[in-house]
Amino acid sequence: MSAEFIPLKWARELLRFLPVKSQFILWGNVNDVYPLQIEQGVVCTFRLCDFLQETLKREGYSLVVKYEPLIGFSLLEGSPALFNDVTGEQIDCNGNLIKAKLSDVANVIEKLVETDKVHVAIILNFASRIQELCRPDSEDFFYRMFRLAGNASPKIPNRSGREPISPGAPATPLYPRFNPIMWILDKENDLPAWFALENQKIRVLPLPRPDYEIRRRIVESIAPKMIGFDDMDENRRRENLSIFVSQTRGLFAEEIVSIVQLARKEELRFAEVADAIRGYKLGVVENLWSKLDLGKIADAETLLSEKVMGQNHAIRHAADILKRSVFNLSGAQFSRYSQRPKGVLFFAGPTGVGKTELAKSITELVFGSPTSYIRFDMSEFGQEHSDQRLVGAPPGYVGYDVGGELTNAVKQNPFSVVLFDEIEKANPKILDMFLQILDDGRLSSSRGETVYFSECLIIFTSNLGVYEQLPDGEKLQIVSPDMEYEKVSDKIVGAINDFFKYKINRPEILNRIGKNIVVFDFIRTGTAERIFNAMLANVLFRLEDTHGITLDVDEAARKKLAEFVCADLSMGGRGIGNNLEEIFINPLSRALFEKDIHSGEKTHLILTGINKNDDGWSIEIVRNEKNI
């Protein structure tokens, strides 16, 4: 039979080995559908057992019998009379024969394998379930099948001429072939270990997911059923066919068929095939990226600068990547049909300078809420086995049925900003999973589910390049606030390159991040004052909004407070907040209790002074121009 009729490599291999192998183990993608050309230019998809029946019929097998645990035998090809002639068993009018005991099943199979009246094929479907469903005699059954594999011999039926085959099928010359048993398994090791080990009479055939050529044949056969297929010009039609084939990489053949069925139901035209594929993968029809407020995205720099102060270089770079993501141009230079994430950002710089805050601000800009992001603190993933938290525990371990935190979160909300904080603290082997996420936009969970990141914005944060750890464990600061931003940026980018290339030996991860490293500057004096004013305003608003207490700050006191709070900028914006808490918020809270100022009283206070003594910080406040 020609490759045109049988495009599948494993199927051609099966036919080729029929004269020399008595049994075949088919495992892997056994629940999918398979393409077969039924006539010139017409390709149909068949379930595995039906595919085998149709294929073997064309090879001259007059009797194809299927057995399933608890169900019994059924005829796929041939007549009940022929089955009775070979086995002596009476099959019912529906072509079924129920055998409850495996010993009786083995008797029938042995007669089918040993006959020389016609060529027979036996398909043991759901054979992975025999051991658990048919105890206690399953061990005897496996041994009899094992013995049968060695004792069987190739047969030439005792008939003159050619074997009877279906009308229209190609004539098949007679030559010695086995009456094969075909085991359909989920996994290769579902049979006892001794059964196929170094057994020269058994051929093991893994069934993979469809490759490009198989997907192309399936797509070309079913795409004409989509609305608008015939209305397209030839060039555009070929381009959309190419999109269909490329973007279904990794899917099962049956899923490709389902995409067309859903597209027809939702009345999507063939020109919208990319939307049909995305909707199938993500489980949603609407594309949230296409519904963004483009006016907000256009003003991204201005809006983000209101949230994150003093980081103009970082915000400009991040805004460019965000705008690129909106137009789905991430990775477009590598492939016209890239399935990479919408965007990748690597935020690097000193602590407390706004890296996480910018991630939250981008989330709010894109999805309307600063909390609509998925965050992982990678310092919690320092151990090699901690990847199980992200993708799920392997089969047989506790929590396998729960899935992973990362894969579950993205599956539930495919339109997300995913933040990996302090990425350098993760175990290098865990970082390897980002290769698949950044390159293919997908990740498989421990349960075998494929989760797609093609609609996600991926953000990494890192403190690499700020400090260097010496051999004695001491940390040496590499960059400092007295350096120009350009020098800070060069040193941090250089340290990131060294970390991925030489320290953890993962240059391929760095290569996939590309030029998306965004370096944050130190908090400088002018910016520190703006941050201080914003934080102080937050405190005063909370005091008035929650407790009805209005507090004005005298200009001299404000200036003095700012001087104290912003004296040390080494810890960035968080350091400013911590200083404000120690110098102002704590003494204020103490004073409110000491002076018996109750919540709900419409009280107007004025801050007139800040002092530091042996007991710590204190403040001076007045009410109605009198000390209290």
pLDDT tens-place string over residues 3-30: 455 678 999 999 999 999 999 999 999 9
* Of the listed ranges 144-158, 463-477, 515-529, the one predicted with least confidence: 463-477
**Per-residue pLDDT averaged across 241-245, rounded?**
91
Residue in 263, 173, 252, 193 with CA at minimum distance from that of residue 218: 252
**Other C-beta atoms within 10 Å of 355: how many?**
28
What is the C-alpha separation between 121 and 50, in angstroms, rounded?
Answer: 13
CA 608 to chain centre: 58
> In this predicted structure, what is the pLDDT of residue 470?
75
Dist CA 73 CA 89 (whole Å): 11
Residue 502 reports pLDDT greater than 50: yes
Mean pLDDT of 224-230: 92
Using CA atoms, how far residue 572 sits from 43, 368, 481, 522, 538, in Å, is 65, 27, 10, 7, 18
> Alpha-carbon distance 328 to 338, whole Å?
9
**What is the C-alpha separation between 62 and 174, in angstroms, rounded?**
12
Q: Token match 């805004």: residue?
A: 319
Residues 322/300, Cβ–Cβ less than 8 Å: yes
What torsion do the CA atoms of 87, 90, 94, 96 make, to the nearest 10 degrees? -60
Q: What CA–CA distance (Å, rounded) separates 63 from 464?
A: 69
The predicted pLDDT at position 161 comes to: 39
Q: Which range is least confidently modeled, 150-159, 321-330, 598-607?
A: 598-607
For residue 240, give the nearest of 266, 210, 206, 263 by alpha carbon: 263
Confidence of residue 163 (pLDDT cuts 50, 70, 90): very low
| Residue 476 CB coordination number (10 Å) | 8
pLDDT at 402: 72
The model's confidence at residue 375, banded by pLDDT at 50, 70 and 90, is: very high
Q: Which residues contact 126 (CB under 8 A, 6 or more apart)?
A: 68, 69, 184
pLDDT attached to residue 331: 56
Burial (CB count <10 Å: 0-12, 13-18, 19+), residue 335: exposed
**Strand, coil or helix: 347:** strand
Amino acid identity, residue 593? Answer: F
Q: How far apart are CA 281 and CA 266, in angstroms?
A: 15
Q: 243-265 b/e with 16+ CB inside 10 Å = b?
A: bbbbbbebbebbbbbebbeebee
Mean of all residue pLDDT scores within the chain? 85
Residue 482 has pLDDT above 50, yes or no: yes
Q: Mean pLDDT across the stretch 396-423?
A: 82
Q: Is the pTM value of this prediction over 0.75?
A: no
Give the model's pLDDT for residue 396: 63
Q: How confident is the model at residue 352 (pLDDT cuts 50, 70, 90)?
A: confident
Write the pLDDT tens digit of every residue in 82-104.
999 999 998 876 777 877 689 99
Four-CA torsion 498, 502, 503, 507, nearest 10 degrees: 80
Strand extents, DSSP E, 40-191: 42-47, 63-68, 72-77, 96-97, 120-124, 181-185
C-alpha distances in Å from residue 196, one per residue of 133, 136, 447, 558, 570: 21, 21, 27, 83, 67
pLDDT at 180: 97
Contact in structure between 316 and 301 (CB atoms under 8 Å):
yes
At residue 338, does pLDDT exceed 80?
no
- Find the range with the poorest average confidence among 115-129, 291-305, 454-468: 291-305
Mean pLDDT of 457-467: 90
Cα separation, 253 vs 258, whole angstroms: 9
Pick the range with the lowest mean pLDDT from 250-254, 436-440, 469-473, 550-554. 469-473
SS3 98: coil
Residue 474 or 453, more confident: 453
Overall average pLDDT of the 530-536 stretch: 90
pLDDT (0 to 100) of residue 626: 45
CA–CA distance, 386 with 381 (Å, rounded to integer): 5
- Average pLDDT for residues 39-43, to the nearest whole number? 80
User: In one letter, which amino acid is 546?
Assistant: T
The answer on pLDDT for 606 being more than 80 is no
Apex 373 CA angle, 397 and 332, nearest 5:
95
pLDDT reported for residue 160: 42
Q: In what order do the strands lie in the sheet with 457-462?
A: 373-377, 417-421, 457-462, 343-348, 517-519
- The H helix count followed by the E strand count for the chain is 25, 22
Average pLDDT over residues 248-265: 92
pLDDT for position 168: 46
